[in-house]
Chain A
Amino acid sequence: MKARFLIPLVIFLVLVVFLAIGLTRDPRDVPSVLINKEAPVISLPSLYDESQIVSSETMKGRVWLVNVWGTWCPECWREHDFLMYLKNEGVPIVGIDWRDDSDDAKKMLAQQGNPFIAVGIDPESKAVMDWGVYGAPETFLIDKKGFIRWKHTGGLNAELWRNELKPLMAQLEAE
């Protein structure tokens, strides 16, 4: 058997290995490039009073979360109860209400509770694009110096909180 006739088989087997690894990956899960970079400045009109500005400046020196949501996003409704839980745990969350109807948003927060310390509205995806967000909900963790340290796409839940977010936040608080 001459070696050169084995070349196609070898190439194919390598390909199969990659395809097999590919099966375990989600091609839609794009990691954020902003991790460990300085968080973009948020400066959005407040949901409750559009003449007021919700700004990330006021959060300097704190460990806090940014949550991108909208009433049109079913996963955000599912996530909402857990955000309320986080609020009760004392986690400061700034909300970005993305491309939403402000009345709907206010109604939702009135009915389901408001987990946010401030909510900015982003009807034209300005902040959303700054933060490299492509779906909702997405949550970012920002440290005291204003750097993004962690990001999650999709709804938050107790497991994530227990395993990732809570220990990381404790560590950042200590920094």
Chain B
Amino acid sequence: MRRLLLSLLLCLPLLANATIEAYQFDDPVKEARYKKLIEELRCLVCQNQNLADSNAELAQDMRSLTYDMVKRGASEEEVVTYMVDRYGDFVMYRPPLRSSTYLLWAGPFIILVSAVVVLINIIRRKSREAVPEISADDIAKAEQLLNQNKDDQQTKDSDK
């Protein structure tokens, strides 16, 4: 097949069929490391794919380089550092922890905590409100609500 167009910024997303390479490993630890790496490194010429899923030629070469490095005994960090030194943080799907990404990593936690604080306030207010007011009126209301819940049942019964 003729070379796929890799014209810059027009490079076609080669979506389908990841190229399958039958790489051999002597050590399952290295194989797992290789797999994790190609899962988490980004194919730079693709729209949004990791190395594992891409069959762009650069991705094939990056896989082959990763394979060589891992086979020679490079650690996960060494491979990632190698790639980041050349391609920048963009190449990693796991964003590094640094000042510009603190908010990204802490964000969900911050949102959760503030939501829970608001939630506790609401519940406390709601339950405190309820304390002084267990009146006959309230009980009647509750009863009515209970009936309301049953109304599906009544609907069903009334169908017969």
- CB–CB under 8 A between A and B in the complex? yes
Given contacts A73-B5, A154-B8, contact A128 B58 (CB under 8 A): yes
Tally of contact residues, A, Cβ under 8 A: 30
Distance A75 CA – B58 CA, assembled complex (angstroms): 17
Identify which of residues 83-112 in chain B touch chain A, using a CB-to-CB cut-off of 8 Å: 84-88, 90
The count of A-to-B residue pairs whose CB atoms sit within 8 angstroms is: 74
Q: Which residues from chain B contact A73 at a C-beta distance below 8 Å?
A: 5-8
B61 interfacial contact with A, CB 8 Å: yes
Asked if B62 CB lies within 8 Å of chain A CBs, one says yes
Q: Would you give the 0/1 interface string for B1-32, flagging 1 where the beta carbon is closer than 8 Å to chain A?
A: 01111111111000000000000000000000
B57 at the interface (CB under 8 A from A): yes
Q: A122-166: contact bitstring with B at CB < 8 Å (1 yes, 0 no)?
A: 001100111110111110000000000000011100000000000
Q: Across the interface, do A136 and B5 meet the contact criterion of CB distance under 8 Å?
A: no
A31 within 8 A of B: yes
A33 to chain B, nearest CB (A): 4
Min Cβ gap A56→B in Å is 16
Per the bound structure, the CA–CA distance linking A135 and B61 in Å amounts to 13
Please determine whether A72 and B87 come into contact, CB atoms closer than 8 angstroms.
Answer: no
Asked if A99 and B3 make an inter-chain contact with CB atoms under 8 angstroms apart, the answer reads: yes
Bound complex: CA A27 to CA B10 (Å): 13
Q: How long is the Cα–Cα vector from A75 to B5 in the complex, in angstroms?
A: 10
Q: How far is the CB of B62 from chain A (nearest CB, A)?
A: 7
Bitwise, B40-60 to A at CB < 8 A (1) or not (0) is 000011000000000001100
Q: What are the nearest 7 A-B pairs in CB distance? A: A125-B61, A72-B3, A134-B44, A135-B8, A132-B86, A33-B88, A75-B7
CA distance A74 to B3 in the complex (A): 11
Decide if A28 is an interface residue (CB 8 Å cutoff).
yes
